Amino acid sequence: MPRTATVTRDTTETKVAVTLDLDGTGTYRVATGIGFLDHMLEQLSRHSLIDLDVSVEGDLHIDAHHTTEDSGIAIGEAVRRALGDRRGITRYGDALVPMDETLTRVALDISGRPYLVWKTAFSQPRLGEMDTELFKEWFAAFAGAAGITLHVETLYGVNNHHIVESCFKGLARALRTAVALDPRKADSVPSTKGTLG
């Protein structure tokens, strides 16, 4: 069965369309109207091997908040839908990602119980046209919509670009492991409860 999903989110603030394939090759087409966010979502696709097509028309004349949050919601929902009943998945994933002077740890559980632990800080208010406080909002929106318990911790780092990029690459690598199918248990949900969620 193909593990794909398409999600559209249409509000007075944004129009979002997402299509993804969990078993892809990391090909992407991303257009959010925010250059830095595009760059991060491209990293997410490339390093998770999830094919990702994202298009957002947002109220950027106000600020980048709604576009950032709603893209996280739509991508997270698409991941949740593509996973189906989560039968056969590895479920857990983690990654330790260095980027020059920065080191970030990401761990996640596709548990059906959304939760975000965010231990990452920035020393400047903006990267490009994007407020750095919005990165936490994206991760929270993604975790909530995907039903993922997600821990992101930058252990150390100085360069703000490196810090946030290591967070997205860490998410990508952890997600790549967690969504992978375990051939030894392809017929069962990885929980003693018999369900995730």
pTM: predicted TM-score of the whole model, two decimal places: 0.94
- Please give the tally of structural domains in the chain: 1
Domain containing 180 equals 4-185
> Which own/partner contact pairs does 6-10 have at CB distance under 8 Å and 24+ positions apart?
6/78, 7/74, 7/75, 7/77, 7/78, 7/81, 8/74, 9/70, 9/73, 9/74, 9/77
Rounded mean pLDDT, 22-39: 97
Inside any domain, residue 195: no
Residue range 41-50, pLDDT digits in tens: 999 999 999 9
Per-position b or e across 160-180, b if 16+ CB within 10 A of its CB: bbbbbbbbbbbbbbbbbbbbb
**Domain of residue 53, CATH code:** 3.30.230.40
Alpha helices in the chain (DSSP H): 35-48, 65-83, 134-146, 160-179
| Percent of the residues in the chain that have a pLDDT greater than 90, as a whole number | 88
Inside any domain, residue 86: yes
Q: Where does the pLDDT of residue 192 fall: very low under 50, low under 70, confident under 90, or very high at 90 and above?
A: very low
Assigned token pair, 26: 């990391």
User: For residues 107 and 152, what is the distance between their CA atoms, to the nearest angstrom?
Assistant: 7
CB 102 within 8 A of CB 163: yes
